[in-house]
Amino acid sequence: MSELTGSPAWTALSAHAAALAGTSMRDLFAADPGRAERMTFRAAGLVADLSKHKATGETLVRLLDLAHVTDVAGWRDRMFAGQKVNGTERRAVLHTALRAPPGTKLYIGGEDLMAEVHGVLDRMLDFAARVRSGAHVGATGRRITDVVNIGIGGSDLGPVMVSEALTPWRDPAIRPHFVSNVDGTHLSEVLRRVDPETTLFLIASKTFTTQETLANARSARDWFAARIPDPAAVASHFAALSTNREAVIAFGIDPANMFGFWDWVGGRYSVWSAIGLPVAITIGPENFRAFLAGANAMDRHFRTAPLHENLPVLMALLGVWAVNFLGARAHAVLPYDQSLSRFPAYLQQLDMESNGKGVDRDGNPVDYATGPVLFGEPGTNGQHAFYQLIHQGTHLIPCDFLAPVETQNPLGDHHRLLLSNVLAQAEALMRGRTRAEAEAELRAEGLKEAEVARLAPHKVFPGDRPSTTILFRRLDPATLGALIALYEHKVFVQGIVWRINSFDQWGVELGKQLARPILAELASGISGSTHDASTAALIRKAARQDTDGL
Ligand code: F6P
């Protein structure tokens, strides 16, 4: 038994879960008319109803005990203060500094961090403004009409998601494109649509060593050079967003066109840094500052609200409750806003790369489940795909429903239809439908008793399936900033409770390492002797040495 699972707070929660097993959420609502209001929390323009979790006041008290014994508040304060909370990489974790307003003071090792942060931000926003105004033009004097961001993981998912989410705020004269996959199709399809004279390439890579990004960047440069052979032209058409100045220079990008950031910004937390440049170019400096300010409002809430009213803390703890005490292994994020179509994909990296860990901070294997499998699709599409399993399947999958009460695109009664669906889904998951209710409905349809008996079991919904509903007025830059920061802090709190390091990602290494020799073997057609029989045979087939069946 580990320190965590052996703690009185944990064992009390296990006993409490067993005691609650016979109580349904329907019972909880029936017994307590004030439940919804009491379990609704507000932060930075977001209103979150947590009442559709199978949790009582006692559950929250016990979960808050767990937060206290795992020192959530202490770790939070150490993170904001710039201490090296990323232990394995011996790094501070300060993406929150990237959205702190001017005037904030933060000194690390005697250095005025905020002066550096605002220096890069001002430069980057000035560059964005010049591209937008036409002060920065291409080598042949034409205005930039297309921005191609080449990056992967955190150097792609954040900018893609934010760019899509803030479409109404974008300048339609500048089209953003995102190339991440090393599959040549991705880059080729984008290059087919752009004109080299009016295209700006942003090579986005924290490390500037990522294989996929460098391969795409080289191919983009070759494509460009084949069309505009003047070597000096590269300066007006290529910029780098990176922490690795030497590698940027070695690649051939003028450091004057490099926008830097720091090792204390994790890739999946980097959209607030220079990695946000494609967003800043398309939505403009003011909107980008509003995006940062929204996140900062959530940071202030997270830092200062008492834990029992602290939205990221409460969402995190209810997630822990579901995973460790109710047996959930997956979590769905379901935005009822088409603009947030890439939000679940973005959150997959944020959550699963952060909390998909099997050893604790001290390197001991954990004896409890950690981060769940996260997935999602915008409503209402998901309803017609995988919701069946969430309603009637054998897995417990807590859901986050996100919805704006005002739409960006008023069209007839579409928005009311959308809202009616999101509210109904959360209600259906909570209430379910009993056998008696199912039978009554079938009888009301005029079915014979034999038919009622045959169909009723299939029409039963177990209910008692937890969800959080988050409403906001509309999806503007500040609200989006707050929403992302909410999830960042939720993931952080869960990592602290689970005693894992949410800021490293060693699990991505082994595949990368093994791909290197395979790359050489595919080129030579000779598979090495170190492989298992399956991998060796697949290499021969992929290299077309063995065409059996291909
Ligand atoms: O493969 C994982 C990862 O290291 C992510 O954490 C990161 O966001 C991505 O690769 C891209 O890294 P970089 O920005 O250094 O190219």
DSSP assignment of 452-518: HHHHHHHH-B-----EEEEEES---HHHHHHHHHHHHHHHHHHHHHTT--TT--GGGHHHHHHHHHH
Which residue lies with its CA nearest to atom 2 of ligand 1?
508
Residue 381 in tokens: 């599409």
| Catalytically annotated residue among 384, 395, 414, 448 | 384
Q: Residue 507 C-alpha to ligand 1 middle, in angstroms? A: 12
Mean pLDDT of successive 10-residue stretches along the chain, which has 550 residues: 96 98 97 98 98 98 98 98 97 98 90 94 98 97 98 98 98 98 98 98 97 98 96 94 96 94 97 98 98 98 98 98 98 98 98 98 98 97 97 98 97 98 98 98 98 98 98 98 98 98 96 94 85 93 88
The angle formed by the CA atoms of residues 226, 232 and 235, to the nearest 5 degrees, is 95
Q: Is the CB of 210 under 6 A from ligand 1?
A: yes
Going from the C-alpha of 52 to that of each of 49, 184, 375, the distances in angstroms are: 7, 46, 20
Known catalytic residue at 353: yes
Residues 159-182: b if buried by 16+ CB within 10 A, e if exposed: bbbbbbbbbebbeeebbbbbbbeb
Question: Which pLDDT score is estimated for 524?
Answer: 87
Q: Is the CB of 155 under 6 A from ligand 1?
A: yes
Residue type, 100: A
Write phi, then psi, for 147 (nearest 5 degrees).
-115, 120
Q: Residue 155 C-alpha to ligand 1 middle, in angstroms? A: 7
**What H or E segment, with its residue span, contains residue 535?**
helix 533-542
Write phi, then psi, for 433 (nearest 5 degrees).
-140, 125
Question: Has this prediction a pTM greater than 0.95?
Answer: yes
Q: Residue 292 C-alpha to ligand 1 middle, in angstroms? A: 22
Most distant pair of Cα atoms in the chain: their distance: 83
- Please name the residues in contact with 270: beta carbons below 8 A apart, sequence gap of 6 or more: 95, 154, 155, 158, 206, 261, 276
d(CA 141, CA 257): 18
**What H or E segment, with its residue span, contains residue 175?**
strand 175-179
Residue type, 318: L
> Residue 177 pairs with which residues in a beta bridge?
148
Q: Residue 267 C-alpha to ligand 1 middle, in angstroms? A: 6
Which residue lies with its CA nearest to atom 1 of ligand 1?
508
- Rounded to the nearest 10 degrees, the angle between the axes of helix 57-69 and helix 477-497 is 70
Residue 171 in tokens: 């300048």
